[in-house]
Amino acid sequence: MRNKKTILLISVIPLLMQATSLYAQPRDPAPHTGDRFWDKSGIMDGNLVRTIFFNHGEIAKYATPYSGEWPKGSGHLYVDGVATVVQAECVDEDGDTIHPLEVNYREDVDRDEDGYPLGWWPLPGYCNYYQDSPAMSDDPESWPVRWPDKPEWAGYWNGYFGKGVKNADLETYYVVDDDYDTRWNFYPDPTDTTRRGLGLAVAVRGFQWSHVLAEDCIFWHFAITNEGTYDYEKVLFASYIDWGVGQSMPSPGGSDDCGSYDTDIDLAYAWAINNESQWGGKAGVAGFAFLESPGNPWDGIDNDNDGLTDETRESGPGGWVYGSCGYYREDGALDEEARASGVPFVRWHWSGDEDGDWHAFTDRNENGVWDPGEPLNDDLGADGIGPTDEGYFGPDEGEGDGIPTLGEPNFDQTDKDESDQIGLTGFKIFMVHEVGHKPSEEEAVWQLLSQLVPPTEEQQLIGVNLAMWFASGTFPLHPGETQRFSIALLFGEDLDDLRRNTKTVQAIYNANYNFSRPPDKPRLTAIPGDGKVTLSWDDRAEYSYDRYLQEYDFEGYRIYRSTEPSFLEARIITDAYGNPTFRKPLAQFDLKNGLKGPHLIDVYGAGFNLGDDTGLRHTFVDSSVNNGQTYYYAIVSYDRGFIARDSLGNVLFDEDGYPIGIAPTECTSTLFIDERGVTMTDVNTAVVTPNAPAAGYSPPVVEGEIIHRGPGTGSIEVGFIAPESVKDGAYYKVIFSDTSFLHLDKAPGYTIIGDTLPDDPSSPPETLVTGMNVSGVDDESPLFDGLVVYFHNDTTAVFVDSLSGWLVKQNNHEIEVGFNPMFSSETNPIFNLNTLYPADMKLIFSDTIVSTSIALFGSYKAIPTNFSIWNVTGDSLEWPFLFDDKDGDSLYTMGDAVIILVEDPSSVVNYRTTWELRLSGPPAIYDTTYIGDDSIVVDTTFLEDPIPPQPGDIYCLRTTKPFRGEWLDAEGDTLDGDVFEFVVKAEFCSKEKAKAELDRIAVVPNPYVVAASWESPNVYQFGRGERKIDFIHLPQKCTIRIYTVRGNLVKKIEHESTMKDGAESWNLVSKDGMDISYGLYIYHIDAPGIGEKIGKFAVIK
């Protein structure tokens, strides 16, 4: 068991972090002011934390379904709301000192006459106005046509990490300002009396990572800019949080929260009394971490004790100097030993890069300029991206110039350590609505926040409606200046689990909000069938580049299935503390690269399974499903993680003896049912309900046999993935190719051509698949015309004993097939000639001399023989051989061997040796006598007199053979390679068959007992949720009538469906809109032109 999180590798891999810091971009002043008509809500659900948020600066909201929900899909709520607050001291037009407080929150704030908060509202243009959500990184439909602050990035995500960069698994971005606050006789820009509030704008981002170490956390980052001309000397940033631990919908409530602060890890946390919850189970623990704080570069004090004084993120590059970089190492990590000693690091660096962690391009050829192919490191230019990133079209401003440029990693706005942070200066735990603590009480709040002291563990409240204030200030905010703060919400099973999660939060913060990112999401298609669900997905994830690890690190796919939309059923693999950690997949496919089994870097004792070297697949048929049950599927891609090694490949360990690295990461799988019961899916998730097809349905099939021509001993199968796309009567041909000399290509190429109208000369065949290779023993083609080809290739030549033997036998000998050890590398490294040759051979005996063996090496002579070797793969050709004539009689007798040769001009002797055929005697009795301790005598007695091979005897040796393309035989003739041909018949429905299947019509479940397993509960609604039964095996068009046993009509249902859907659901509500009572019911099915069916079903308690 490993008892720590190895994510701390961030501080010990210098070169890794040089090129992977965050790529936050400066925001240009807004062309508009806040507009409440652009107000929108969104959902952050990129890991196990799910919460509603609003683009006016509010996170979570009491009495809404996703208000700080954890784990996602459980309905367990922990947060009633978080408000973003900025307050400043200024002098109004009347000469009075005032302290306006800017906020937008659901309660305890000042409002206008129409009830709208006088505070933050979203700036127009930062999302698509014609949809409901703020801009989300995973939904291009939510993005604006042009970003107001980055119009040149149109069509790309406006990433904190750069143009189009989505280093977090989920990110949101919006901007607010305070122009709507008109309460004060104050103008932040006297030259523009239309601008109100404090003249502040806030750029807000939320981040989530799905990595198992970060899956219980959500980050929020705020960049506050003074867009006015007023020079503020005293400003406060603050966060207000109202806890709601242990609540659940649809009726949240309670005042039994408890709160405290852990000074060892700088974390405020909340829990419920006795861990009680409204859902009846144990409630977890929620935490709030105040991470980044504003800096003060004007007071001459080293506020953050990092060895640097008055550093600022708006300094520009400065000059190339030799001097102090504070206590920061070259990798940007703060060295605690240097801090303790008070001795800073000194090195060459740009003076504007105060901590000296910005790294220019690597000039490998030392010509003084960046050349393509040389690592750019941090020298990426203003857009923060390089040649490996999406959206890169060539060098931009500052790229590869050797000088820090605004927008590049580890410099100014992208480096938190270049800010002289003042830290968390005030903390207070109190009861919600307590006098003097409400945001609407501005002067009281200013007095409170400006005089608070840093947190102590003595602050604690038990069993109240709990709230907390976090404050940082005061500090100056000059015109045009930007200051930042960030927070994190995190959750755990208990306080110890929460503390462990805090280490991950701190590590991500220390790495400038950067973390390992999984491969891109594959795009999933799920097709329900009769007792099965067919999944198929694309290969886009296999080309993903991890900016954090600086490599292409895709490893495989995992399939998850659940009967609830959050896949909590699959989360059954626990860590050493018993906390659920990993999900168990339904199926897993990974690269054949030798990386398999549990990853070396575990997570508190639980290791991520890399797979079994199965090879990649892009289709899967789940045949372990029940008709009528709704299933939720996710296909996730995952990477191979990271293990730190030295230059010799040895694993590196930390001071406690734990291996250094990062556990593998899998992409998110977002799927949920909202409070209305509407299912929301992502590109890699699906919800399907398998069911029986309509009566009379016949699925697509291969018509006749699959025809195979060629030497390969493998086979193919045809899989019908999308039956509705299969073209009736279409003809297909699979043609193989290879370039190997001995036809031992383990990955032969193939092309698939198709002809949908084979009888129409005007419709020529079309190439559907080309440039592909069969990888390994089992592989599959890309999807085409609704089907795939499954390949089963014999990747090497193996002697097949069961198919080999005497075709004609007049002797009583056997032949032993193998390889002569003289020609193996173990015996003779110089002449390593043995080769597994994929060909069938015949040894044919005659009554005259018919061939002569090859003379080779001096020990093998040219011997005339009464037998010959023939290669019968392809055209039958006589083949060269060596003859090991033990008794020198020129006859093939007991103990002699024939060694088959293969001509090879690249060999030192122009040949390679392959199969050896050694003649053994007839059945015998072996009598062994031991003489002394170390010698034996073996007396052999044959049960019959040996009869050597006779004229006309034929022995056949057969091998497995990989697929191959066209090839030349020994005489230079071109022979056909492997070709498969087949014709498909499309799905169809037959009335005659439907008539014969009327008796299969049934009701499931029958009887219906209170509830059925397939009825999905909705944790956000009152009542028992959905009720339903299914009529199955129905004809495509029919009328269903349901009666009481007295003959009263209860419900009439018109059924009309596709041929693959023979089911009709009924919600047990009568034609009068009433829930039906318990009892026995009669149903009548009337299908015009097909027939009728009468049956019964019961609804019981």
pLDDT of 15 reads: 32
The sign of the CA dihedral 1064, 1067, 1071, 1077 is: positive
Pair 846, 945 in one domain? yes
Total-model pTM: 0.78
Query: Is residue 22 scored above 80 in pLDDT?
Result: no
Phi, psi of 151 (to 5 degrees): -60, -25
Q: Where a domain ends, among 688, 709, 732?
A: 688
pLDDT of 828 reads: 67
Give the type of residue at 413: Q
At 730-742, the pLDDT tens digits run: 999 999 998 787 8
* Range from 640-654, 668-682, 956-970 carrying the lowest mean pLDDT: 668-682
Percent of the chain with pLDDT over 90: 63
The sign of the CA dihedral 889, 892, 894, 899 is: positive
At 484-497, the pLDDT tens digits run: 989 999 999 999 99
Pair 682, 704 in one domain? no
* Range from 7-16, 594-603, 979-988 carrying the lowest mean pLDDT: 7-16
Cβ atoms within 10 A of the Cβ of 110, count? Answer: 16
Closest Cα partner for 54 from 169, 133, 149, 113? Answer: 133
| CB 763 within 8 Å of CB 1006 | no
| CB 78 within 8 Å of CB 56 | no
Percent of the chain with pLDDT over 70: 92
Closest Cα partner for 488 from 235, 168, 201, 257? Answer: 168
Place of tokens 């945001």: 439
What integer is the mean pLDDT of 917-943? 68
pLDDT of 161 reads: 79
Pair 1020, 1067 in one domain? yes
Closest Cα partner for 579 from 495, 482, 485? Answer: 495
- Asked whether residue 749 is domain-assigned, the answer is yes
At 845-872, the pLDDT tens digits run: 999 999 999 998 888 999 999 999 999 9
Q: Is it true that the peptide bond before 1007 is cis, omega within 30 degrees of 0?
A: yes
pLDDT band at 935 (very low <50, low <70, confident <90, very high): low
What integer is the mean pLDDT of 404-416? 88
pLDDT of 182 reads: 94
Q: Where a domain ends, among 389, 417, 445?
A: 417
At 188-238, the pLDDT tens digits run: 998 899 999 999 999 999 999 988 888 999 999 999 999 999 999 999 999
CA distance linking residue 412 with residue 29, whole number of Å: 18
Pair 994, 948 in one domain? no
Closest Cα partner for 528 from 627, 617, 619, 634? Answer: 627
- Asked whether residue 1 is domain-assigned, the answer is no
Cβ atoms within 10 A of the Cβ of 95, count? Answer: 6
Q: What is the chain's alpha carbon radius of gyration, rounded to the nearest angstrom? A: 38
- Asked whether residue 869 is domain-assigned, the answer is yes
Place of tokens 């009598």: 927
pLDDT band at 932 (very low <50, low <70, confident <90, very high): low
Q: Structural domain tally of the chain?
A: 6
- Asked whether residue 79 is domain-assigned, the answer is yes
Closest Cα partner for 326 from 341, 311, 339, 307? Answer: 307
Query: Is residue 575 scored above 90 in pLDDT?
Result: no
| CB 726 within 8 Å of CB 534 | no
- Asked whether residue 6 is domain-assigned, the answer is no
| CB 249 within 8 Å of CB 62 | no
- Asked whether residue 2 is domain-assigned, the answer is no
Reported in sequence order, the residue ranges of 317-465 that DSSP labels E, i.e. its strands, are 320-324, 346-350, 426-431, 461-464
For residue 835, give Cα distances in angstroms to 411, 564, 906. 59, 55, 13
| Paired strand residues for 288 | 268, 489
Pair 126, 210 in one domain? yes
For residue 3, give Cα distances in angstroms to 610, 656, 658, 812. 21, 10, 9, 69
pLDDT band at 926 (very low <50, low <70, confident <90, very high): low
Q: Where a domain ends, among 400, 417, 434?
A: 417
pLDDT of 928 reads: 59
* Range from 51-55, 174-178, 314-318 carrying the lowest mean pLDDT: 314-318
For residue 165, give Cα distances in angstroms to 24, 25, 133, 580. 10, 11, 20, 31
Q: Which residues contact 541 (CB under 8 A, 6 or more apart)?
A: 519, 520, 521, 522, 554, 557, 637, 667
- Asked whether residue 967 is domain-assigned, the answer is no
Pair 1002, 1035 in one domain? yes
Q: Which residues contact 1027 (CB under 8 A, 6 or more apart)?
A: 1011, 1012, 1015, 1067, 1068, 1075
Pair 399, 506 in one domain? no
What is the three-class DSSP state of 742?
coil
Q: Got the DSSP string for 128-150?
A: -TTSSS-EETTBGGGS-SS-SS-
Pair 495, 478 in one domain? yes
* Range from 313-327, 846-860, 933-947 carrying the lowest mean pLDDT: 933-947
Phi, psi of 414 (to 5 degrees): -100, 10
CA distance linking residue 228 with residue 479, whole number of Å: 6
**What's CA 141's distance to the chain center, in Å?**
21
What is the three-class DSSP state of 961?
coil
CA distance linking residue 389 with residue 858, whole number of Å: 62
285 or 691, which is more confident: 285
677: which 2 tokens? 């019961």
Query: Is residue 313 scored above 60 in pLDDT?
Result: yes
CA angle 639, 642, 645 (to 5 degrees): 150
Pair 812, 787 in one domain? no
Pair 931, 885 in one domain? yes
What is the three-class DSSP state of 770?
strand
| CB 569 within 8 Å of CB 594 | no
At 381-399, the pLDDT tens digits run: 998 888 888 788 889 999 9
pLDDT band at 2 (very low <50, low <70, confident <90, very high): very low
Averaged pLDDT of the chain: 88
Pair 160, 215 in one domain? yes
**What's CA 477's distance to the chain center, in Å?**
42
What is the three-class DSSP state of 498?
helix
DSSP 799: B
Domain assignment of residue 273, given as a range: 34-294+422-510
At 224-237, the pLDDT tens digits run: 999 999 999 999 99
Pair 125, 248 in one domain? yes
Closest Cα partner for 505 from 819, 308, 290? Answer: 290
- Asked whether residue 311 is domain-assigned, the answer is yes
Q: Got the DSSP string for 1037-1076?
A: EEEEEEEETT--EEEEEEEE--TT---EEE-SB-TTS-BP
